[in-house]
């Protein structure tokens, strides 16, 4: 299959272009750093990495959640208003849709772009993520596309990617059993 036939070619190209832009921006930034600043960044990074233990992250996440929960609704409304002021409602909606499509496209690529059950290849909109162990399911993956990439990855760890038809068949068999 060539790039013209690949339904994910445009999304793959966008992902690659984003990666190259970040790489180029980082190179320019590093080229302009003084030796003192490089040493300072290296020391800060070493300290940061040392503190990234699972216990530290749990504590930091809990504190962050507590802080956000304590904020009054007017603060949250102001943040939303500030975002909406930069984008029209239509632009904001398009931005969210674009982000969700990219997230799903990344997952499809990561899972191999084939249905786990029938082995066929479909456009990425035809795939669903099925939790193999319902007890480990914390959320519906389709609802999580707007979440942070790390959160989505954590959720799909216990999933398989199957086409919509196979997914419906699986659930019908589960109900019948």
Q: What is the DSSP letter of 128?
A: E
Distance CA 165, CA 29 (A): 49
pLDDT of residue 1: 46
pLDDT of residue 162: 93
**Mean pLDDT over each residue of the chain, to the nearest integer:** 81
- Determine what percent of the chain falls in helix, strand and coil, rounding each to the nearest 5: 70, 5, 25
- pLDDT tens per residue across span 107-152: 898 888 899 999 999 988 899 999 888 788 887 787 777 778 888 8
**First CA to last CA distance, the chain:** 40
R_g of the chain computed on alpha carbons: 21
pTM for this entry: 0.49
The full set of domain ranges for the chain reads 47-176
- pLDDT tens per residue across span 141-159: 877 777 788 888 888 888 8
pLDDT of residue 4: 58
Residues of the chain with pLDDT under 70: 1-7, 83-84
């Amino acid at each position: 299959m060539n790039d013209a036939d690949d339904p994910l070619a445009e999304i793959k190209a966008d992902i690659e272009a984003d990666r190259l832009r970040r790489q180029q921006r980082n190179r320019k930034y590093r080229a302009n750093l003084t030796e003192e600043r490089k040493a300072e960044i290296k020391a800060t990074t070493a300290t940061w990495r040392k503190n990234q233990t699972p216990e530290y992250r749990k504590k930091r996440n809990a504190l962050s959640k507590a802080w956000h929960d304590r904020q009054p609704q007017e603060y949250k409304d102001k943040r939303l208003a500030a975002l909406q002021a930069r984008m029209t409602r239509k632009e904001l909606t398009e931005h969210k849709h674009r982000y969700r499509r990219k997230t799903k496209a990344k997952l499809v690529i990561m899972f191999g772009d084939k249905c786990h059950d029938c082995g066929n290849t479909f456009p990425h909109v035809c795939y669903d993520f099925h939790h193999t162990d319902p007890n480990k399911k914390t959320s519906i993956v389709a609802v999580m596309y707007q979440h942070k990439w790390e959160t989505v990855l954590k959720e799909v760890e216990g999933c398989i990617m199957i086409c919509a038809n196979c997914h419906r068949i699986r659930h019908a068999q589960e109900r019948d059993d």
